[in-house]
């Protein structure tokens, strides 16, 4: 990827954050994207489409087809991962989409009857859009670091797609404790993470670190944005990140809709 090659150069020049903003601008002003997006107005599912600025911030592309196809695939993937572990979405009373962005996945649950749907994100521009357009979900805004305002044991499932991929280790650990608090005993946590597929994107020292089972973090000072990138070796997730959770399932590159990310399903232990 371009950012892998250009990032270190821009960083040395003190221009990385500026370069990232330019990249986001260029992406949404590309005239080809404008024409490709035209067939999607009005939107096929009857829910408004987020503006290009929000699509770029969340998905790194302002193309509506990328956003919609990816969201639909990700929602299906969540359902399938649960099903292969004998869990039906419809049996869950309350679900939280953590780092919901502009509702890329949430919008595909609008017909899920009998399940309370919640979404939260630390970016108020994204949550304002969701609160306005996804009336079937309860939307909250959290801070970069926990806690949230949800009561203990509130959810049956928390999922966070491509969120820990942009948070440094200390923030991830703090959020794992918060998820533990807000999930009911036996509740489920689904994460998508950059795993072994991404080794080819790492430079030599990063690759060594990854292969030794250590987390690799780039640009941790941009925590929460897509500029900060984090790569999770399987051993790290099993031995460190999982903490008080039991690992229920691990599907390498199995987070469809979040291409090539690993899917991890955890369960909050019933005791402890």
Nearer of residues 110 and 207 to ligand SAM, judged by Cβ = 110
Cα 191–194–197 angle (5° rounding)? 130
From residue 97 to residue 126, the character string flagging contacts with ligand SAM as x (rule: CB under 6 A) and all else as - is: --xxx--xx---------------xxx--x
DSSP secondary structure string for all residues of 49-116: PPPHHHHHHHHS---HHHHHHHHHHHHHHHHHHHHTTT--GGG-SEEEEET-TTTTTGGGGTT-TT-E
Nearer of residues 33 and 191 to ligand SAM, judged by Cβ = 191
> In this structure, what token pair is assigned to residue 96?
């939280």
Given a contact cutoff of 8 angstroms between Cβ atoms, the answer to whether 116 and 140 are in contact is: no
Q: Of 77, 217, 226, 261, which one interacts with ligand SAM (CB under 6 A)?
A: 226
Nearer of residues 58 and 157 to ligand SAM, judged by Cβ = 58
Confirm or reject binding of residue 163 to ligand SAM (CB under 6 A): yes
Q: Of 142, 172, 217, 261, which one interacts with ligand SAM (CB under 6 A)?
A: 142
How many residues form the binding site for ligand SAM (CB under 6 A)?
20
Nearer of residues 201 and 207 to ligand SAM, judged by Cβ = 201
Question: CA nearest 237: which of 271, 193, 198, 199?
Answer: 193
Bridge partners (DSSP) listed for residue 250? 264
- Please report, as ranges, the residues that interact with ligand SAM according to CB under 6 A: 58, 74, 99-101, 104-105, 121-123, 126, 142, 144, 161-163, 166-167, 224, 226
């Amino acid at each position: 990827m371009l950012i892998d090659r250009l990032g270190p150069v821009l960083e040395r020049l003190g221009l990385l954050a500026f370069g990232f903003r330019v990249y986001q601008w260029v992406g949404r002003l590309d005239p080809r994207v404008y024409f490709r997006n035209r067939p999607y107005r009005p939107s096929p599912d009857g829910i408004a489409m987020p503006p290009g600025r929000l699509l770029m911030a969340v998905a790194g592309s302002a193309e509506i087809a990328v956003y919609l196809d990816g969201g639909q695939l990700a929602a299906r993937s969540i359902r399938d991962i649960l099903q292969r572990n004998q869990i039906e979405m419809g049996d869950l009373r309350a679900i939280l989409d953590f780092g919901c962005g502009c509702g890329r996945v949430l919008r595909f649950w609008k017909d899920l009857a009998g399940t309370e749907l919640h979404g939260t994100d630390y970016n108020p521009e994204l949550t304002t859009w969701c609160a306005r357009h996804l009336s079937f979900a309860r939307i909250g805004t959290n801070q970069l670091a926990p806690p949230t305002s949800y009561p203990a044991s509130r959810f049956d499932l928390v999922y966070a797609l491509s969120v820990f991929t942009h948070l440094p280790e200390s923030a991830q650990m703090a959020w794992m404790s918060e998820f533990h608090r807000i999930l009911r005993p036996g509740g489920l946590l689904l994460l998508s993470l950059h795993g072994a597929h991404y080794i080819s994107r790492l430079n030599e020292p990063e690759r060594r670190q990854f292969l030794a089972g250590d987390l690799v973090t780039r640009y941790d000072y941009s925590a929460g944005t897509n500029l900060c990138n984090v790569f999770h070796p399987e051993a790290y997730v099993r031995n460190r990140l999982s903490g008080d959770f039991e690992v229920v399932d691990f599907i390498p590159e199995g987070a469809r809709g979040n291409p090539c990310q690993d899917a991890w399903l955890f369960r909050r232990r019933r005791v402890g």
